[in-house]
Chains A and B, each alone.
Chain A
Amino acid sequence: EIVMTQSPATLSVSPGERATLSCRASQSVSNNLAWYQQKPGQAPRLLIYGASIRATGIPARFSGSGSGTEFTLTISILQSEDFAVYYCQQYKNWPPLTFGGGTKVEIK
């Protein structure tokens, strides 16, 4: 099973600043990685797939990078609606499909 590790667990950022979230895989997943955003009481929303491809309707301030075992989600200029929990997910080797533990982006 591929273990996904996200860091930090909580990120405190001021609106208008940049947020950088990390996701590490226990073995290479190539570019088979997705990022999701989840707000309280809501379902996850797809942000990025293929490590760097923005999903339909996702603003350009969200960008994904990386391959192999190290991945980054960057939110270039944080808006108030971006405060949420973010999860990475690998789909290279399965079953099982696995998620990271999440990074909570909170207002500083």
Chain B
Amino acid sequence: EVQLVESGGGLVQPGGSLRLSCAASGFTFSSYEMNWVRQAPGKGLEWVSYISSSGSTIYYADSVKGRFTISRDNAKNSLYLQMNSLRAEDTAVYYCARGRSRDGYNYSDYWGQGTLVTVSS
């Protein structure tokens, strides 16, 4: 059974840092692309970052570029999101999601349960 379990969320002051983790199991983690997607309270979904299966290709949303860093450790079946210079508008539930590609079409077929990040003084 595919499982994605996020951790590392919590309360942090503006300007602070936090590192999120996503532990993957039930599939060959090193073969899959991964994404981080967030959802502010009562709001819609916002794609945050993408990393290829090898970690060699990375993309960020403009809203987090230069402040967030995505990474992965395929030996540990884990995905990470290092978040620096946090702002109130980064407050959200952060989901990790497995990426799939079929005939050139990309989508996220499994999602974790999410971890809440609250940025407040």
* A, B co-complexed: no
Q: Which residues of B contact A (CB under 8 A)?
A: none
